[in-house]
Structure 1
C-alpha cells in the first residue's frame, strides 16, 4: 500500500468485556491505516472526543468537520508523521458512532440499536480495544503513540496499561484528570441532551416509531458548550468581537433549533452566536447524542493515578520516552496540568520533555496550528528527545509552572525555521 492509499475497514474482535463488568458478544472497531508496515515503524494516533478514525482522509461518507481529516496537516506523505516512512493506524473508539460498536449499533439480542443498554465505556476500554485491533493487524510494539485532548489521555493509559508496547508517547493538550470546572461544563452538556424531550431515555433511533427523532436541540447546546471550552478569550475576541451578524447570515434551520423570543428582533444577532449555531447544526447532522453522553463520561471519569495511588507509580513501568505538548491559552487542559505530568515522568526516571507552545487559539491549537505541532512531533518521531525542535520548556525553570504563571519561556514558531 502506498503512502497516499488508505486501508479502512471494520474488524470484528469477538466478545469484549468492558471495565464495568458487562460484555457484548462481538466488538467491532472501525479503523484506517496509511503506509506500509515494516515491523518497527507503526504509529498509533488516538482521536479526540468527537473525532474519528479518519485522521487524514477526506472522502469518507458520514463525516465532516473535525471527524474528517482532522489531522490531515500532520499525517500524510512528507508531513510530520510521514506515511512514506511510517505505518499509521487510527481506530474509532468503542462508544463512538463512526463504525465502532456503540449506542447506535445493533444489539444482536434484540435486533434494535443498543441505546443506553450499551455498556458504559472507559478510556481503559478504548486502550484494550486498540491493542486487540493492533494484534489483528499484526502490529506488536509501536514506534509512537500520539493523541490530543482525551486522545492524549488515551495515550497515557497506554503507558500505564501496556508499558512495554511503545518506544515513544506524545500526549498533546492532555492531562491526568479533568478539572472541576470542565467536569461541571460537561455535566451541563449532558443535562441538555437528557432534558431534550426527543432523547426519550436514549431510545430515539426510530425502529417501528416513524415519529421518533434525535434530540438535536440538546446535542446542539452540548456542542456549543464544548466549542466555548475549546476557544480562548483572545481567539474569540479576534474571531468575533461583539460584531453583529444580522439575522440573514444565520444558518438555515437555526431558528428551528433555537427559536428566538419576540424581543430578540430588537437586539443584534452576533457573529459569535452565528458561529455557535452553524457548528452546532452541522454537528447534529453527523454525531449521535448517546455517544456524546458516553464519551464525555469516559473522559470525565479518567484518572491516570487510579489503581496506583500516584501518577508517578502509574507510569513508572513505561520503558520509552515521552513528549508532552501544551498551549499557553488552553484552559481545558492547561500548561500546569501538563507540567504536573512531566514532573511525574521525571520522578519516575522516564525521559521526558514538556514543550510549551505560545498560542492564543485555546484548546483548538493542537488542531489548527500544524506549524507549531508538526516540527517537535516530526523530530521526536525521528530522533526521540534528541530532536532539535524539542524544547523541555519547564524543566529549566526554578519554580514549577502554576495556572496563570507566565514566568516561563514559551516556544515560538520562529524556533522551527530552517
Structure 2
C-alpha cells in the first residue's frame, strides 16, 4: 500500500523552503518484527520493488535473495519522480536540489517512522548513489551499505552525459522520448547491441532493428514518465557528492560505520568500473569492512538489472545473516502494520 509523509518547511541546499510530499511502501514483515532494508530506486524506477510488476522482483520477494518472509522492505519514492502524483512539486526549482537533500528527506522520514536502525541500504544507479549519500549523512544508521552500479561522486564523464540529456530535455520537440533514446546508448554497450540485433533489419519497415528498439524505449518512457520528473532525476545525477562540497570523498566514506559492499559492472559506460575499484583500493586502507564484487557482462550499466544470477550470488551471504535489528520505539506504527500519514516539520 502506497503511503505518504508530508515534510513541512523543508529547506533545500539553495535555501528555498517548501513542503515535500514523500511517498513510500512497505513489503514483507512488519517493521517492528524484522530487520529493515531500505531499497532506493533507479532513475525511472519507483517504490514498487517487488510483486508481479515490481522492477526488482528478481532480487526481492518470497524466497528471493531479499526474502520478504524474513525482512521488512521499505522503499521511498524520490520526491518528484512522478510515481502516483506530485511529479511537478520541484518543477520550478529542480536545479536547487542536490542528492544530499534527498538523503536528508529520507533521514527525517525514517526518524518520524521511528526507524532507528537499518539492516541494509541498497540501490542501483542513482539509487546506489543515494545509498552512499544517506550512509555518509548518517554513518551509524545501517549495518550494510550496498551501492550497485554507481559512484559516490559525479565524475566529469557522468556530468557530460547528463548535460547532453538536459539539453535534449529542454530543447527537443519530443524531449522525454529523445532523451531516453540517447540514454539507452550509454546504458548498454556496442557489444550488447551487436549480440542482440546482429545488424538485422525489420521486415516491415526495413529500418535497422536497433533503431526500432530505440524508438520503442523512447515511446515507452514518454507514456509513463513526465518531463519535470526526468529533468529532476537527470539533474540529481550531476550532484552526487558524499563529501558535501569538500571533495574529500574518502574521508566522508571512512566515517561510515557499517559494512560497505560495492557492486560494479566491468562494462559499465555510465558509472565506470575503474572508479569503483579505485574507491575500493583507497578506502580499504582507511576502513577494513569493505568489499567489492564485479558483475561480468557485455550489457553495460543495465547489467545490474539483467545479470540477476551474479548479483544474487554476491548478495546472498549478506542477507543470510541471522542478526536481527529491531526497532523498539514503534508508537507511530498501527496494529495492522500500516503507518498513518504524518507531518514532519524541520527544525
Q: Same fold (TM over 0.5)?
A: yes
* Unaligned 5+ runs, structure 1: 1-6, 59-67, 106-113, 198-216, 249-267, 385-418
TM-score normalised over the length of structure 2: 0.87
Q: 4+ runs of 1 displaced by more than 4 Å?
A: none
Structure 2 match to 1:159? 135
Structure 2 match to 1:316? 254
| Larger strand proportion of the pair | 2
Structure 1 match to 2:326? none
The answer on 1:376 being equivalent to 2:333 is no
**1:176-235 CA distance string (max 9 Å, x none):** 2233333222212211121135xxxxxxxxxxxxxxxxxxx1211101111111001211
- Following superposition, the deviation at residue 337 of structure 1 comes to 1.2
- Following superposition, the deviation at residue 155 of structure 1 comes to 0.8
Contact persistence 2:147–2:261 (CA under 8 A): yes
- SS of 2:223's equivalent in the other structure is helix
Structure 2 match to 1:11? 5
**1:99-147 CA distance string (max 9 Å, x none):** 4744x24xxxxxxxx6324573211111111122222332111000000
Distance 1:162 1:32, change over 3 A: same
- Among 143, 159, 166, the alignment partner of 1:190 is 166
- Among 1, 19, 27, the alignment partner of 1:34 is 27
Q: 5 Å matches for 1:379-418? A: 379-383=317-321
- Among 358, 365, 368, the alignment partner of 2:303 is 365
- Among 51, 54, 65, the alignment partner of 1:69 is 54
- Among 42, 53, 56, the alignment partner of 2:47 is 53
Q: 5 Å matches for 1:260-299? A: 268-299=206-237
The answer on 1:168 being equivalent to 2:166 is no
- Following superposition, the deviation at residue 28 of structure 1 comes to 1.0
Structure number with higher relative contact order (C-alpha < 8 Å, ≥ 6 residues apart)? 2
- Following superposition, the deviation at residue 279 of structure 1 comes to 1.0
- Following superposition, the deviation at residue 153 of structure 1 comes to 0.7
Mapped partners of 1:183, 1:160: distance in 2: 21
* Unaligned 5+ runs, structure 2: 323-347
Contact persistence 1:10–1:100 (CA under 8 A): no
Rg (Cα) greater in structure? 1
- Following superposition, the deviation at residue 355 of structure 1 comes to 0.7
CA RMSD of aligned residues (A): 2.0
Q: 5 Å matches for 1:186-265? A: 186-196=162-172, 217-248=174-205
The answer on 1:121 being equivalent to 2:97 is yes
- Following superposition, the deviation at residue 320 of structure 1 comes to 1.2
- SS of 1:27's equivalent in the other structure is strand
Mapped partners of 2:106, 2:239: distance in 1: 19
Distance 1:175 1:183, change over 3 A: same
